[in-house]
Amino acid sequence: MVPPPPNGLRGDMYSITTTSSGFHRRNSGAWTTTIPSSTSTITCTQSPLTPSTVSPVWKRRRPSTNYRLPVSHDRTSRSRSFFSKYDRRWRWWHVLFALMILLGVIQFIGVFVSSHLLHSKTASIRIALREFPKMPYQHLDEITTTTSLVQGTTVYHVTKEFGVASMGGMGMIVTALAAAQQRSGTVNAAVVMPFYSYIKKKYKVDRVTDLVVDIRDNEGRLVPVEFRVWKMMHVFNPPPPPLEPNITISATTLEDGTTVNNTLVDGVMVNVTYDEALEQYRQQQLEMQVPIPASEQVPVYLIGPGNRKPFNKAFRASKVQNIYSTPRDLPMEWKDQYFTKAAAEFLAHQAAAADETPLFAPTQMASRHVDVIHIHGATNAYTALYMRDFERRNQLGARTPAIVYTMHDYLDELQYSIRYANAARFFNDISDDTDALKPYTRDQRTFMSSLGIDYADVVTFVSRQMAKDIVEGRDDFYLKEFVMDGILRKAEQKRFFGITNGVDYGALDPFSNKVLIQRRAVFSEYALDMLKSHQNTSAAQQDESTAVWHLSTNNKDFVLYAKDQAKKYLIRRKVLSEADLTRPVVLFVGRFQYNKGLETFEEAARHFVDNDMKFVVIGQPNNYPLKWIKALQDKYPDNVVVFSSASQQRRWLTLCRAAADFMYVPSVTESFGLVAAEGLLFGTPVISTGAGGLKEFLIDRPFAMQQQERDIRVMRDRSTNAPIIISREQYNAYLFDVNSPDRSLEEAISDAAYDYQRNKVSKIRREEFLLRMISSAFALGWDRGNQQGPIYDYNRVYQLALADRHIPYLSKHEIDEERVLLRRLHSSNNT
């Protein structure tokens, strides 16, 4: 190989002849290389050197002495091809490494999220199962038989639901109880509830007072939160709005060609203009309007939201279905505690207002006081503790209010609890309140029902039979370890009673319901008068074993005529089919949840199909899957129909109640059974388990009913030829036991279908059957005459609670003097 020319060679041309295919040289300066194939001549051309480009000798690089590199060697190209081939193309080890990194990231995220969820999840509460002693139950009748409650006693009901803000049974019961108390005149009822935002669109509200409660911030400092209390008057049966007059204008042309406008009011000509006639008519309507008596209305005090975040968002609800919803930044437990503390602050204000009233104040202002605070439900139970705190600080005036706590349920209420940290935000005194909540706190959860039982003077349950079973140890229920100590303690003190709820007919009354009137399916006044006469006769004779019914000769006076009209209307609206006019219709009404017995629907639907019965299901979705109920409709389209939306319920519920031949109430647990009682009010017998409070008013059919004749005699009035029925039958239900083959669901449905076919033959016997159902519902009223009924039982409870209330020694003479004065005024009014 011929070596390259030296670096210091000067000249314009240097030729080399070689047989190699090429050689390598440095790519510097302006050298060019030409490499032909085979024998080659390499010509190197260099541009002329100028003085400015020639480097000094001492700066010039020494010539390379490495002549062993081949001519084809190129480090740059080899390095570039290596990275292009191996680094820019993904190999299997690259994919494996990326997957390992991805799996590591996913695992880290999973560990972080699961750790956060585990720390935020409520810890499981361990409860030691216990056996409690059995003790005899003593009802109010055995303790006090007479009511010596002073007339004018003021009772404040603390509730989350009332009137137009009623979501479930508790709201309806509290509304009915307040209405019965107002109508009886024995007590003056009032209601304290949240000010839901949609209420101001329906009622006229007036400002009462502005108050302040202290709530702790994140640092534990007390922060004052101001709130306003409003007042509205709730009318139980509001009168219908006045009708607009029928005013018309007619033109008359006289003989001389002039035109005269005539004003006709209801067809009568008047000599005034249209506007004047309208104003005169409205003035006459105002003069004819009768003022609403005090017995038909009740004051409702509304606790408004606070003036600080997040309590300024409390009680926002666009409709009644949203009263238990809450904004994201306001926890439900904070909202509940805010209401209980604000309600207690208002009640303390009302209790002390009598002492602060001027001597010559108006009568209505001077009468403000609080005798009894009636707390409904576990969510409001903390109010009792706040009131005891006011009592300890002597801030309730001379007459300390008595506290009554009513348990409306023994399942959901016992499970209601709040986090201890959330309760601590509303402490007035940390040390005192911590000691007060310690017995009711389990694993950082405070259970409110047991707190309400201990801090109340008297505790009631909404079923007499269930209260007796609880005390005597026959009723076993979930979380009883939380409340049994308090219940047995109250029972031993004779301060725990069961008072079965009454039924308020109200807007549901089939004898005056507006929907039934519009559809010409309202029950007749003749039947109503007959039922009232029977009720008064039974109460006077105290004999309910025999019923005598004097029926009318007019078929439209029969209850069965109204029920058939309702069924025909539903057939025209395609809710029912033509076949349903001559076969029994079974109705279920309630929430779709497990404790309502919906697990029996599959078997019940099969038996309904076997007995040619129509099954109508109306309810709201809950914890029981709606698709399972819909599947029954798809499986038996001719025998099962389901209405699950709120609009469908509002449209068809009343008419379906009127048209139904049987009610289906398969509840596993039931405190009272309002749906069954409402069914009886519409003349509908009940197919039921008879669980809980249902057994107090449901009477089962006789055993082997299909082999027995009906105990009924039919006669005719000699003068009018009207039928007279004498009946000794009393049953109103077909009870079954899921776990008993002797009283199975199949047998209950079969007996009901047999009874329907038997009564279908005779119109008179069917009418007696319907009247007997309604009569058993009338017997469940709040006021049952002769000082009997739930309204008088509650009066006895108030009397016992007031006997236990603490009165300061220096104020006792004031109470005694006031009691004597009230008795004198009452006796003078009677004379």
Q: What is the DSSP string of 479-512?
A: TGGGTHHHHHHHHHTT-EEE-------GGG-TTT
For residues 463 and 461, what is the distance between their CA atoms, to the nearest angstrom? Answer: 6
Q: How far is CA 102 from CA 92, 98, 115, 573, in A?
A: 15, 6, 20, 62
AA letter at 205 = V
Terminus-to-terminus CA distance in the chain, angstroms?
A: 149
Please name every residue paired with 459 in a beta bridge, in sequence order, or none if there are none. Answer: 405, 496
Residue 555 CA, chain-centre distance (Å), reads: 42
- Residue 398: per-residue pLDDT: 78
- Residue 503: per-residue pLDDT: 83
For residues 372 and 394, what is the distance between their CA atoms, to the nearest angstrom? Answer: 17
Q: Answer for the pair 657, 665: CB distance below 8 angstroms, yes or no.
A: no
Buried b (16+ CB within 10 A) or exposed e, 224-260: ebebbbbbbebebeeeeeeeeeeeeeeeeeeeeeeee
Residue ranges of the chain with pLDDT lower than 70?
A: 1-88, 120-123, 145, 240-282, 284-290, 354-368, 507, 538-544, 704-708, 741-742, 806-831
Q: How far is CA 571 from CA 566, 567, 730, in A?
A: 9, 6, 32
- Residue 363: per-residue pLDDT: 44
Q: Is 502 exposed, middle or buried (0-12, 13-18, 19+ CB in 10 A)?
A: buried
- Residue 476: per-residue pLDDT: 83
Nearest CA-CA partner of 772 in 822, 714, 726, 715 = 726
- Coil, helix or strand at residue 445: strand
- Coil, helix or strand at residue 515: helix
* DSSP classification of residue 314: T
- Residue 352: per-residue pLDDT: 87
For residues 22 and 553, what is the distance between their CA atoms, to the nearest angstrom? Answer: 133
For residues 275 and 340, what is the distance between their CA atoms, to the nearest angstrom? Answer: 52
Q: How far is CA 576 from CA 97, 195, 637, in A?
A: 68, 41, 11
Taking CA 259 as the corner, what is the angle to CA 254 and CA 264, rounded to the nearest 5 degrees? 100
AA letter at 333 = E
Q: Answer for the pair 490, 449: CB distance below 8 angstroms, yes or no.
A: no
Domains of the chain are 1-59+67-74 (no CATH), 149-237+296-498 (3.40.50.2000), 247-288 (no CATH), 558-712+729-778 (3.40.50.2000)
Q: What is the DSSP string of 260-294?
A: EEEEEETTEEESS-HHHHHHHHHHHHHHHPPPPPG
- The answer for 430, left when phi > 0, alpha when psi is -120 to 50, beta otherwise, is alpha
* Strand ranges for 79-169 from DSSP E: 153-158
Q: Answer for the pair 695, 716: CB distance below 8 angstroms, yes or no.
A: no
- Residue 275: per-residue pLDDT: 64
For 340, the token pair is: 């209980």
For 726, the token pair is: 């004498």
For residues 482 and 347, what is the distance between their CA atoms, to the nearest angstrom? Answer: 28
For 698, the enclosing helix (H) or strand (E) is: none
For residues 78 and 218, what is the distance between their CA atoms, to the nearest angstrom? Answer: 69
Q: C-alpha dihedral over 168, 174, 175, 179, to 10 degrees? A: 160
With tokens 């049974």, the residue in question is: 169
For 389, the token pair is: 């705190």
Q: Is 799 exposed, middle or buried (0-12, 13-18, 19+ CB in 10 A)?
A: buried
The CB density around residue 693, as the number of other CB atoms within 10 Å, is 27
- Residue 742: per-residue pLDDT: 65
Q: Answer for the pair 277, 265: CB distance below 8 angstroms, yes or no.
A: yes
For 45, the enclosing helix (H) or strand (E) is: none
Q: Answer for the pair 229, 208: CB distance below 8 angstroms, yes or no.
A: yes
- Residue 225: per-residue pLDDT: 96
Q: Answer for the pair 466, 475: CB distance below 8 angstroms, yes or no.
A: yes
Nearest CA-CA partner of 354 in 814, 803, 800 = 814
- Residue 357: per-residue pLDDT: 47
* DSSP classification of residue 721: -
